A and B are shown apart, each in its own frame.
Chain A
Amino acid sequence: MPSGRSQRIAEWARHWNAGLTRYLRRRLPGRIDPEDLAQEVYVRLLRVEQIEHIKEPQAYLYRVASNVAQEWRMRAVHAKPHSDAELESLVAAATPESLLDDAQFKAQLDGALQTMTPMVRAVVYLKLREDMSHDEIAGHLGITPRMVRRMLTTGYAQLREHFEFD
């Protein structure tokens, strides 16, 4: 049984995840390379001295990434006489995934799902589209939560490969 606390944590992580996604998709100026951003985030993570004090590393990571993106954006605004609106439109086509419009993205997702085994497909669908917890997915599919993790790992890796190679 998931405790109230872990549900809250999952909620929080989801919140941060969604926040980061929005940030990176809409607000990253065109010339910011996601790889540069990752390097800057990495350098900042290395500066953290007492890691045991960080209770929510995933949320922490997203916060740092958001901060870096925000700082870079501010810098870009000051360096160039762009209005926020102009910048927003510049940014719209910034990152690899957003180069795909929704129709293309849908088609690719469909393709990726086709390459998965029925079990992996079901786990990915229930997790990402239906937003179910691991325990719920395990219950629906009659498998162990451990297997849910495993299938989800396979599914994520397949999605990652698929969206890069096309």
Chain B
Amino acid sequence: MQPDQDNTRDPATTHARQCAAHWLSVLSDENCTEAERQQFFAWLRASGQHVDEFLRLSRLTGRLNRRELWPEANVAELIAAAKASGDGNVTALDFQPEVIATRSERKSVRWPVAAAIACVCVLVGLIAGRSQLEQWLAPEYVTAVGEQRSITLEDGSVVELNSQSRLRAHFKPDLRAIELLEGEAIFRVWKDPHRPFRVRTGATDIVAVGTAFNVKASDSRTIVTVLEGRVRVNQRDAAERSAAATHKAISEFELAVGDQLIVAKAQPAIRLSLRDTEKVTSWTERRLIFEDTPLSAAVAEFARYSSRQIRIEDPAIAERKINGVFDATDPASLAEFLKADETLSVRSDADDWTVSSR
């Protein structure tokens, strides 16, 4: 059993429930349109599971129509608390199952157009599978070279997104599911014990409740560094390769402040204890701190922030270790630093530099 509840249920069920909740909400709206009712019926006819989930939810809410089952609440206080929470002002980034439905709300959309969109969506859904479709519909945040963004998510968590990064957020009732598709981000997680905050990268699942951590993901590996609180990291491919309990011990880690975990695909994870996390978070101040960092890695870091490239011509110097603090937006500072090394030759042509050994 996975500790993460979301993994124990198939995505189709989760999605069917979400959609059932959505449709009951739409249909109970007195301003529900004819087109929406038809779309509901199309959804219903798409699967027996849809019928099942909708009937179950209807039965539950039907029973909830009996007033005596409800706690006595002061309606004025409920309303005041809701207003004070400011929830309604959030331009929510949450997952909505109904791209089709929101479009139909615009009166200008004609039926044939809506039907065509529905057909395309159904086709896409059939080809890609429902969970894939759900993923496509989630909002995506992308930063270009040199661009950094601070994003406040629907739940109040803040994401600092480094340059050349891509992130998706799906908010579900029981899980805040984030995908870091590439790049690097710091997550300052809003505490909500009922709704774990999960960051998924190619190789790992990182689960937190209220804490702060940095994640750097590339195709080959993921580096997680805890800045505050605790997080749990699962090495996904290991867990998927074998469900044996012995493997689980290897693939699941509890990290505390200052702990860093380096997870590469199909390899045992490496756990480090950092003296301080300044180096990890320095990118938020657009500083790059190198400590015995190979020149090739330092150059790759600079490439994230600036389109001015430093090229290494000689493989022998790619492994040379670099130490120093640099302005991330100023690759010239690294070029100058390298010029000071008499064993190296640094040529500048137009916007780029080429480094070779003398």
Q: Do A and B bind each other?
A: yes
A87 within 8 A of B: no
Q: Is the CB of A21 within 8 A of B40?
A: no
Q: Which residue of B lies closest to A110 (CB)?
A: B71
The 3 closest A-B pairs by CB, nearest first: A21-B62, A119-B87, A143-B88
Chain A interface, number of residues (Cβ within 8 angstroms) = 84
A-chain residues with CB within 8 Å of residue B29 when the two chains form the complex: 134, 145, 148-149
Q: Mark A137-165, 1 if CB is under 8 A from B, else 0.
A: 00011111101111111111111110100
Q: Apart from A21-B59, A135-B30, what 4 extra A-B contacts exist at CB < 8 Å?
A: A48-B45, A129-B70, A157-B17, A161-B174
Interface residues on B, range: 35 or more
Contact status B44-A45, CB under 8 Å: yes
CB-CB under 8 A for A109 and B69, given A21-B59, A133-B30, A156-B25: yes
Residue of A nearest to B70 (CB): A129
CA distance A58 to B64 in the complex (A): 18
Dominant SS among interface residues on chain A: helix
A91 at interface (Cβ–Cβ under 8 A)? no
A-B contact pairs, 20 of them (CB 8 A): A25-B62, A34-B55, A34-B56, A34-B59, A38-B52, A38-B55, A38-B56, A39-B52, A51-B42, A54-B41, A57-B37, A105-B69, A110-B71, A119-B82, A122-B81, A129-B64, A152-B24, A152-B28, A154-B21, A160-B57
Q: Are A157 and B69 in contact (CB under 8 A)?
A: no
Cβ distance A48 to chain B, nearest Cβ, rounded Å: 8
Interfacial residues of chain A within 52-107, with CB under 8 A of chain B in the complex: 52, 54-58, 60-62, 65, 95, 97, 102, 105-106
Chain B contacts for A45, CB-based, 8 A: 41, 44-45, 51
Closest chain A CB from B61 CB (angstroms): 6
Whether a CB of chain B sits under 8 angstroms from the CB of A35 is yes
Would you call A35 and B52 a contact (CB within 8 A)?
Answer: yes
Closest to A10 in B: B30
Contacts of A135 in B (CB 8 A): 30-31
Chain A residues whose CB sits within 8 angstroms of the CB of B50 once the complex forms: 42
A18-B172 Cα distance, complex, nearest whole Å: 28
Name the segment of B72-80, B120-128, B225-233, B303-311 touching the other chain. B72-80
Report the separation of the CA atoms of residues A51 and B124 in the bound assembly, to the nearest whole angstrom: 22
B106 interface hit (Cβ, 8 Å): no
Is B67 among interface residues, defined by CB-CB distance under 8 A?
yes
B28 and A119 within 8 A (CB) = no
Closest residue of chain B to A108 (Cβ to Cβ) is: B69
B12 within 8 A of A: no
Other-chain residue from B20, B42, B87 in contact with A160 (beta carbon distance below 8 A): B20
- Are the CB atoms of A18 and B62 closer together than 8 Å? yes
A58 touches B173 (CB 8 A): no
Contact: A115 with B194, CB < 8 Å? yes
| Given known A42-B51, A45-B45, A154-B173, contact A122–B61 (CB-CB < 8 A) | no
Assess whether B274 is interfacial by the CB under 8 Å rule. Answer: no
Q: Are A38 and B51 in contact (CB under 8 A)?
A: yes
B48 in contact with A39 (CB, 8 Å): yes
